[in-house]
Structure 1
């Protein structure tokens, strides 16, 4: 009987820890580009501004898929080394 109670408590603690880790991973990792730094006011203004969406270029010569060019093949291990 006590074993089931202890297991339930441990399960609850593990679920809470897992949820905390999930929230930590989900936090925004957006970085603000600035060469010389920003003032607090400038940084808060950048954070409150909505992110502008950009349009992808229309396929044309030199863009993969349109002109028959294929992306260079790369091994997964090489991609991780970059």
Structure 2
């Protein structure tokens, strides 16, 4: 059985890197297999404190800085939205 960490190591795509960071922040509180690209992360257990930890970890992982206009609940609502935001920042 592959774990999220195994997938992150073998796949270098931004979505997998986002998932790796997300689950390192959430720890074991969320079953990774249940979190698809559009699952509402807030309903899955993300809260405001964890979202700040996630933002900082993503900034470190991707060497980017989230501008104030992206610091919203919507930006951090799903893996897809986070990946899109990070991709936009990396492209700048």
TM-score, shorter chain, exceeding 0.5: no
**Greater helix percent: which structure?**
2
Structure number with larger C-alpha Rg: 1
TM-score range, shorter chain: under 0.3
